[in-house]
Amino acid sequence: MALDRITLTNFRNHPETRLAGTAQFNLLVGENGAGKTNILEALSLLAPGRGLRRAALTDLPSQSGDGGCAVSAELDGGVQLGTGIRPNRPGRRIARASGAEIPALGLSEWLSIGWLTPAMDRLFSEGAGARRRFLDRLVLALEPGHAKNAARMENALRERNRLLGELAEPDPAWLEALESQLAEAGALVAQARVRLVAALSERLATLPEAPFARPELAYQPGGPLNAAELAAELASTRRRDRAAQRTLTGPHRDELLVTMAGKGQPASACSTGEQKALLIAITLAHADLLQDSRPALLLLDEVAAHLDPLRRTALFDRLRAGRAQIWLTGTELAPFEAIAAEASVWRVRDGSVERQG
């Protein structure tokens, strides 16, 4: 058990929601719009980043509240984790551990969180940017420093593109300084992605090809992985990039390639059901990595409803064998019959919860 005594205050449609007596499996059951996913989103914010919806901070507080909101939970060992927004500081998120304010990145020292939502079903049909964001979220759960490196890379990239787009010839010294920053941070970002793909691939290689389709992963870099080599390439392609008015080399052009093992078929060409199975397999392999070091949560939004009974049983068996605390949502209890007796179950209605059983 990772988290217990969870409280949501003025968060989305939850004015004051408390969940206690958690188990390895935790089921949130209710009609669409009741607030089930809002609870998962609140839990996802007990880790660095923007949560499973990537929402703006101003969207999180309840419309009927004072502009602030809070999420707190007790971790094994009695550590109290919390995050939220003060009413007078709507654009700033605060985080706490046992009452002491900490950087949001500090939350990752206590807890690792992964998730799978219906919005992610489009991952293999969207552009490469969606897969880079997915990859970075997986890296961040394992390597908290990745967020700082990614931010430095994005800032340097944005400034370089701005200079390349100006009418006047950019100052070479200023470009060189920006390219040095971009190469240093970008190489760290790319190398972290490489490590993550290698670790996931190792876990996935041990899995059978049924009942879930087994994915094979490949990392396609958008430029050199070495900082010095990347800086040299950026310098040598200034004329080309100036004509394009954007940087055409670097980790911002990386791609995650996913193939269905056995068929050798790209995920983008697989059926909707096969793509879902591939995504579940990647999520479960990542959950295995998460629980190796810190207490881990796995948030699965509406995942069981889209699986046949055979795959549901296989999913629950895989989850039961791990050490992560699992949170699942559904509109009815029937798909969860195989785990209902061992789970904590809450009925969610209009932003409130009622413990079942």
Residue 233's pLDDT band, with cuts at 50, 70 and 90, is very high
Q: What is the pLDDT of residue 210?
A: 74
Report pLDDT digits (tens) over 80-124. 999 999 998 888 999 999 999 999 989 988 999 999 999 999 999
Question: pLDDT higher for 251 or 89?
Answer: 251
Report pLDDT digits (tens) over 257-289. 999 998 999 999 999 888 988 999 999 999 989
Q: Please state, rounded to an integer, the average pLDDT across all residues of the chain.
A: 93
Is the pLDDT at 292 greater than 80, yes or no? no
Percent of the chain with pLDDT over 90: 79
Residue 305's pLDDT band, with cuts at 50, 70 and 90, is confident
Domain residues of the chain, as ranges? 1-111+294-357
Residue 343's pLDDT band, with cuts at 50, 70 and 90, is very high
Q: What is the pLDDT of residue 1?
A: 58
- Contacts of 229-234 with CB under 8 Å at 24 or more apart are 230/182, 230/183, 230/186, 230/187, 231/179, 231/180, 231/182, 231/183, 231/184, 234/160, 234/179, 234/182, 234/183
Residue 237's pLDDT band, with cuts at 50, 70 and 90, is very high
Cα 207-301-200 angle, rounded to 5 deg: 30
Is the pLDDT at 209 greater than 90, yes or no? no
Indicate the SS3 state at residue 262: coil
Report pLDDT digits (tens) over 12-71. 999 999 999 999 999 999 999 999 999 999 999 999 989 999 999 999 999 888 899 999
Report the chain's C-alpha Rg in angstroms. Answer: 22
Report pLDDT digits (tens) over 174-204. 999 999 999 999 999 999 999 999 999 999 9
Distance CA 109, CA 240 (A): 43
What pTM was estimated for this model as a whole? Answer: 0.92
- Residue 150 is given by DSSP the state H
For the segment(s) 1-111+294-357, the CATH number from 3.30.565.10, 3.90.1010.20, 1.10.3860.10, 3.40.50.300 is 3.40.50.300
Percent of the chain with pLDDT over 70: 99
Please state, in angstroms and as integers, the Cα–Cα distance from residue 147 to each residue in 4, 54, 330, following that order: 27, 14, 32
